[in-house]
Amino acid sequence: MAFKNFSKPSQGVQLLQRSLARGRLGHAYLFTGHRPEELELLARTLAKTLNCQKPVKTGGVATDCCDECLSCRKIDHETHADIHWARPESRSRVVTVEQMRDLMREIQLKPAEAEYKVAIIAAADRLNPQAANAFLKTLEEPPAKSVLVLLSTEPQRILETILSRCLRLNFSAESGYAPDEAQSEWLAAFGALAAGGQKSLLGRYRLLDVLLQKLGEIRARVDEALTARSPLQRYDDVEKDLRERWEDELAAAIEAEYRRQRADLLLLVQWWLRDVWLRSLAVGGELLNFPKMAGVEAVAKKISPRQALENLQTLEQTQRLLHTNVQEALALEVGLLKLHL
């Protein structure tokens, strides 16, 4: 994909292309946004533009890639000798110090077949402290003709010493989260069930079952999509060490993307609970996320504003717990049992 193919004008893309045209590209960038796959796509497009064999030029300077030449195709398939990736590995979902040392060793070498060396660290917020410290020296003194790109959906978790050394481009506005039709339909069904007298233990477990069933569908969909995109599906005859690394990266990517989509689903529920709280305060529909959604009015009439606010706090606490190693079903069960409905 080339910059010209992005669906709508992006301030971040415009800034990148302006920097390219003026010959003022930074040595280190932090791309932030809501969707990791879009951040990876942006980083890959920048790497292609820097090394394209038939680039689109502005004032004689490359500002976009052709997306067709051999170099672009290699970068798309992650087989280019001068483009290096680091992603969280293993179930711990961290970028290790060994990974960063390997990456920095590669970036210090002269380009093998292109003009620029590019290092891309996906989920940079998952750098463990040792890896982050190992990365600092290269970040402070990068070699010539190299660009370092960090990607993160949670930049607040990145060390300040790293943040201060990167130019930050926020793509959240271009990839902002909004529920699609299927999610809205699921939330409507969830809200209607919640409004139907869920004070009994059996009723709460019905709600839990609906939530867990949806999460199971999300995990299966994420597993299928990321497995299909993995290099494991394109290259059968690879060395054992490389295959094991790809398997670890795939497992970590699936877990990370599932957790992100799980957070999106719980955010939907949180928005619904916020509407319940606002209606319990007799606030008008102009401030509601879902002014016509079933269940909001019914639940708001049954509980007090204080209880509605406690619901929001309970869900926030559940989200925080899910960022730890707590057992998912248990955390969700406890959270749902605490809700006032």
Gyration radius (Cα) of the chain, Å? 23
Q: Which two tokens stand for residue 259?
A: 């957790």
The whole-number average pLDDT for the span 145-174 is: 86
Helix and strand numbers, DSSP H then E, in the chain? 12, 7
The CA distance from 168 to 15, in Å, is 11
Q: What is the pLDDT of residue 101?
A: 92
Q: What is the pLDDT of residue 307?
A: 93
Q: Give the CA count within 13 Å in the CB-facing half-sphere of 282.
A: 0
Helix (H) or strand (E) segment spanning residue 98: helix 97-108
Output the average pLDDT for the chain: 87
Q: What is the pLDDT of residue 182?
A: 85
Q: How many residues does the chain have?
A: 341
Helix (H) or strand (E) segment spanning residue 257: helix 240-280
Say whether pLDDT at 223 is over 90. yes
The whole-number average pLDDT for the span 29-46 is: 89
The CA distance from 322 to 320, in Å, is 5
Q: Which two tokens stand for residue 211?
A: 């939530």
In the chain, what is the greatest distance between 2 CA atoms, to the nearest angstrom?
71
Are the C-beta atoms of residues 127 and 158 closer than 8 Å to each other?
yes
Nearest by Cα to 93 from 68, 62, 122: 122
Helix (H) or strand (E) segment spanning residue 276: helix 240-280
Q: Which domains, ranges and CATH numbers included, belong to the chain? A: 3-170 (3.40.50.300), 181-338 (no CATH)
Q: What is the pLDDT of residue 255?
A: 86
Are the C-beta atoms of residues 152 and 158 closer than 8 Å to each other?
yes
DSSP characters for 280-334? HTT--GGG-SSTT-TTHHHHHHHS-HHHHHHHHHHHHHHHHHHTTT--HHHHHHH
The whole-number average pLDDT for the span 173-200 is: 75
Say whether pLDDT at 334 is over 90. yes
**Class of residue 237 by CB neighbours under 10 A (exposed 0-12, middle 13-18, buried 19+):** exposed
Better-predicted residue by pLDDT, 94 or 147: 147
Q: What is the pLDDT of residue 243?
A: 85
The CA distance from 269 to 266, in Å, is 5
**pTM, two decimal places:** 0.63
Neighbours of 153 (CB within 10 A): 21
Eight-class DSSP state of 232: G
Say whether pLDDT at 205 is over 60. yes
Eight-class DSSP state of 78: T
3-class state of residue 129 by DSSP? helix
Q: What is the pLDDT of residue 91?
A: 58
Helix (H) or strand (E) segment spanning residue 220: helix 201-229
Q: Could you read off the pLDDT of 255-311 as tens digits, one per residue?
A: 888 988 898 899 889 889 988 898 888 876 666 778 777 788 888 888 999 999 999
Residue partners of 238: CB distance under 8 A and separation at least 6: 246
Which amino acid is located at 2 in the chain?
Answer: A
Quickly state the pLDDT bin for 176 (edges 50, 70, 90): very low
Q: What is the pLDDT of residue 8?
A: 60
The whole-number average pLDDT for the span 132-158 is: 89
